[in-house]
Amino acid sequence: MNILLFGGFLGSGKTSIILQVARHLVGDIEEGFSTRQSDGGKTSLVIIENEVGETGIDDKILKAEGLSVRDLFAGCICCTLNAELTICLNEIQEELSPKWVIIETTGMAFPDRVAETITKYGKDIESLKTIVVADAERWDELSTVMPGLVEGQISKADVILLNKIDCLEPEQVSDVEERVRGINSSALFYAISAQHEVDSQIWREAVTGK
């Protein structure tokens, strides 16, 4: 089981990006957008959705695209629901043993805390990658109002996706990029706009590491 752990502040574009990544991953396996593999109907990709509030929206968006989704509501998996996350992950492994599991955290979560839980208690984890989405359009505002959260999310990411660059001028994007890289210089960095189809080469490098 290979895990992609997605973090990033509310509204940064995690769900839009996950939709594209899911298409890439499933297409990579079976050249079609379905989470079912042809050999025996085994599920190749499962998404775990952790949402703020007890009425989920992101899970419904992903399910409407035919994706297999498990919900974890009424708490945050980086703190109050970390035990539930472990149980959920291990059940997925035992029941389905998918090649890929995508976890979408709430916009208030610290992904490194979730990664710590998975590393400690997860079973049969082949790989774990933390991907954090940063909102280029709101970078100034968010890094001013909530610097601890925004920087904490980015600081330990393996991959940073600076999203919504279509909302800024190129020089503004460069400025934000510099500030994001200043927080975490070791992560792979990509500036994207998930409003449009992202170059699959980026997903190959960032997600599957090819």
Partner 1 sequence: MSEERHEHLPEHSHQHILECSNQQPDPAIFSETHGLVFLEKVSSEKIQQALTQWVEEIREWAKSNAYLVGHIKLFVEGPENLWLSSTGRSINIKHSQGWSEWFTYRVNLNVTAIIFGTSKKALGEVAQVRLQACIKRIDSDE
Our finding on whether 83 is near partner 1 (CB under 8 A) is no
Nearer to partner 1, 109 or 154 (CB): 109
Q: Would you say 15 and 104 are in contact if contact means Cβ atoms under 8 Å apart?
A: yes
Q: How far is the CB of 150 from partner 1 (least distance, A)?
A: 10
The helix (run of H) or strand (run of E) holding residue 132 is strand 127-135
CA–CA separation, 98 and 135 (whole Å): 30
Among 38, 80, 127, 186, binds partner 1 (CB under 8 A): 80
CA distances from residue 13 to 19, 28, 58, 119, 206 in whole angstroms, order as listed: 10, 23, 11, 26, 16
CA–CA separation, 196 and 176 (whole Å): 20
User: Which residues in 35-64 contact partner 1 (CB under 8 A)?
Assistant: 51-58, 60-61, 64
Our finding on whether 6 is near partner 1 (CB under 8 A) is no
Q: How far is the CB of 54 from partner 1 (least distance, A)?
A: 4
Stretch that binds partner 1, among 96-104, 115-123, 143-151, 175-183 (CB under 8 A): 143-151
Q: How far is the CB of 55 from partner 1 (least distance, A)?
A: 4
